[in-house]
Homo-oligomer: A and B are copies of this chain.
Amino acid sequence: MPVGTNATVKALDPDDLDEVGASIILANTYHLSLRPGHERIERLGGLHEFMGWDRPILTDSGGFQVVSLGKLRKIDEDGVTFRSHLDGDILDFTPEYAIAVQEALGSDIAVCLDQPVPPHASTRSEVQVATARTHRWAERSLQAHQREDQALFGIVQGGLEEDLRAESTTAIAALPFDGICIGGLAGDETPEQRRAALDVVVPLLADDPRPRYLMGLGSPVDLLDGVDAGVDMFDSVLPARVARNGTLWTPEGRLNLHNARFLDEPGPVQEGCPCRLCRSFSRAYLAHLLRSRELLGYRLATCHNLTFILDFMARIRSAIRAGTFPELQQQFRATRAGTNGVKTANEGRVKSQ
């Protein structure tokens, strides 16, 4: 899922989203509740109508943003009290409020408020408290949720502690959610730690038909590993953010369009790519636009990276259906071994805004 924080996937309009192959997008509950306000969006006909996008929208829980962007006042059993990053207002975010916001927005999939904890900055007992609280908030969210036309996903927490992850998976899976989010990852853990956590969660959901959604992962290699571990859904600002910074993804690796050599390259960023950038413009033109900080450059670069990553996911889905996913993985790793790769350690760790 491309991320449309402020009811727009940065630099793109709905026709662009269509063209890059987006079938569902994510919008941020926290941001929209503050600006322009969920009640306002509701009065205007809901988020789909507001942003001109008639396909599915998932809204996140707001939990991550409340903790990472708001100036935190306190977290207690009731919820989170924080200062808005926009105007400094003191606001309460409770599980019931997060549901009310998402019902007002009218997203197709809502997500429960959780208490995320940064794995490396938390003690086991902090993780334990946050995880248990996330479970109680999950039940309160189910109680509060009324819209029958809106799915509701619960969130598994548990940090990097295997037993807490397992306990959380069992607790959340026992509740009548429509899908299971795997939270607290795609942060500062290593790929190996992430995989270890997934290898606890996914086997416990083996016979569970509900979609599994790992929140906040976006680089090709991470997505491939996530799918290999059994995850169905992902979201990330990464492909779009690095695009705006001039990093373009291709099957042969990353291109940094700020490199002076691109100013003289007449070919497209990726030969044969059907995106708006590669169809009509040279590497030289994009390099010029980005250097000149021209708005069109951000749009074209974003179109390319989203086309690239959504096509990558489409090929993964086809391979799974054809029973050739292992071959696709091998092929991908072989290509990467011979190039500078598509992912750096830092890129893989960009969380949603």
Contacts and interface: CB of A to CB of B under 8 A. Distances in A.
Contact of A298 (B43, B45, B288, B295): B295
Interface in A51-95: 51-52
Contacts of A36: 263, 284, 287-288, 291
A52 B263 contact: no
Chain A interface main SS type: helix
Interface in A10-55: 10-14, 35-36, 40, 43-45, 50-52
A263 B13 contact: no
Interface in A288-306: 288-289, 291-292, 294-296, 298-300
B288 A45 contact: no
B13 A285 contact: no
Given A6-B288, A13-B300, A280 B43 contact: no
A159 B285 CA distance: 38
B7 A52 contact: no
Given A36-B284, A52-B280, A296 B13 contact: yes
Contacts of A45: 266
Nearest to A35: B292
A12 B263 contact: no
Residue with the greatest number of chain B CB neighbours at <10 A, chosen from A12, A36, A50: A36
Given A263-B36, A263-B40, A11 B296 contact: yes
B296 A8 contact: yes
A147 to B, nearest CB: 22
Given A43-B264, A44-B282, A295 B52 contact: no
Residue with the greatest number of chain B CB neighbours at <10 A, chosen from A50, A288, A294: A288
B266 A44 contact: yes
Given A36-B263, A43-B264, A51 B298 contact: no
8 nearest CB pairs, A to B: A11-B295, A36-B288, A52-B280, A6-B292, A8-B296, A8-B294, A44-B284, A44-B266
